[in-house]
Structure 1
Amino acid sequence: MKPVLATASLCLAVFAGAPQHAFAENPAESRQKIEAVIKAFGKAIADKDKEGFMRLFLREDITWVSVYTDGSVARYRAGLKDPTQPVPKTQGGSPRKFIESIARAPEARTETFDNVRIDTDGEMAQVLFDYSLMVGDYRNNWGKESWQMVRTENGWKIAAVIWSAEENPEPRPKK
């Protein structure tokens, strides 16, 4: 019995002296910090802030995949000179390519975030929400977006982004 008590005492001594950041964050605190990342993501798009946007990610080469609805694929295919040409249902990319395309665009771009759900244990998180990508006042596309996030020594970072996309069947109004 004495070895068990000695081991327990040693464990208590080690964990009692462990720094606070060695343990998971309180999930409520994590949710607040993740919500701040979501706001920063939207602000970086609206401001066309490439550096601020890229700071939100774990790495530059994260999973970045969109999956288009069958209706969107059919509308795109119908617009081709050869409608039998294959049209991919999924498309890859990167956060950098995305924000650079936003920054190059002459029109204002914004993304809305609705019905946000965050599931976290204080170390990793799954974030799921409904989004709309706006080009000026025009709702360009919408769907569901999912982020995988991790808490690093530099705060919460996005490790993967996957989203569905329904392209607006109504053409953008001409100016």
Structure 2
Amino acid sequence: MRGAIFIFVLVLSFSKVNAQGFEKERAEIDSIISQFSQCISNKDSVSFLRLFTPNSFQWIGVVKNKTNQVVQEHVKSKTNNYFFNDYAVFYKFLGDKGKQEEIFENIIVTNDDVIGSVSFDYQYWNNGKITNWGKEYWTLVKMNGTWKIVNVVFSIAE
């Protein structure tokens, strides 16, 4: 009986340690989400570029079917329903625009101590008007003690 109680207490203590570790990781990832949003609003390119892994990044946007259908009708020619680039090109796109803001809702974070993912609904605003919205997914890794975004995949509706 003592052995069973000892094992139970040991397992419980490991669970508490893991839960505390994941809470710390969650807080760090929440900070990345906040920094991402602030960098867009403040047009802080230096801090923005530090959020990402070097040389391993893809930024992929896929236009939702209904939006793509409207685009195809206006363009009068077939175009791709997706685009991809890297975070630096995305940031240059922001620099030429007016006041920018990305709003995140329904945020879900999963992680262990070195990899994580974030998913959320987003709305993108330009000069006080919503320009597009959809779902967004990030993959993250913890490199040398710091969380970095590896890639971003998102849907686009207008």
Instruction: Classify the secondary structure of the residue corresponding to 2:138.
Output: strand
SS at match of 2:106: strand
Which among 45, 68, 73 is matched to residue 68 of structure 2?
73
Determine whether 1:44 maps to 2:39: yes
**Residue 61 (structure 1) shift:** 4.3
Amino acid in structure 2 at the alignment position of 1:121: D
| Deviation of 1:142 (Å) | 0.4
SS in 1 for 2:157: strand
Structure 1 position 133 matched with structure 2 position 128: no
Give the SS at the match of 2:51: coil
For the 8 Å contact 2:58–2:87, the answer to whether it is kept is: no
- Counterpart Cα distance in 2 of 1:79 and 1:88: 14
Tell me how many residue pairs correspond in the alignment. 140
Question: Which structure has more helix as a fraction of its residues?
Answer: 2
Q: Scaled by the length of structure 2, what TM-score is found?
A: 0.84
User: Are 1:60 and 1:95, in contact at CA under 8 Å, matched by a contact in 2?
Assistant: no
1:154, distance to aligned residue in structure 2 (A): 4.7
Offset, 1:94: 1.2
Task: Please list the CA deviations of residues 55-106 of structure 1 after superposition, one character each: whole Å capped at 9, or x if unmatched.
Answer: 00012540210111111111111212xx2x211111101111111111111x
Query: Aligned to 1:53, what secondary structure does the other structure show?
Result: helix
Q: More displaced, 155-164 or 56-65?
A: 56-65
SS at match of 2:23: helix
Higher Cα Rg, which structure: 1
1:28 maps to 23
Shift of 1:138: 0.8
Residue 103 of structure 2 corresponds to 112
Runs (4+) off by over 3 Å: none
Structure 1 runs not aligned, ≥5 long = 1-24, 168-175
In the alignment, structure 1 residue 91 sits paired with structure 2 residue 83: yes
The answer (yes or no) to whether the contact 1:54–1:60 under 8 Å persists in 2 is no
Distance (Å, rounded) in 2 between the aligned partners of 1:66 and 1:88: 11
Deviation string for 1:13-59 (max 9, x for gaps)? xxxxxxxxxxxx81110000000000000000001111111000012
2:113 to 122, 137, 149: 122
Q: Any gaps of 5 or more consecutive residues in structure 2?
A: 1-19
Output the amino acid matched with 1:79. H
Pairing 1:143–2:134 present = yes
Q: Give the CA RMSD over aligned residues.
A: 1.5
Find the aligned partners of 2:148 and 2:92 in 1 and give their Cα distance.
19
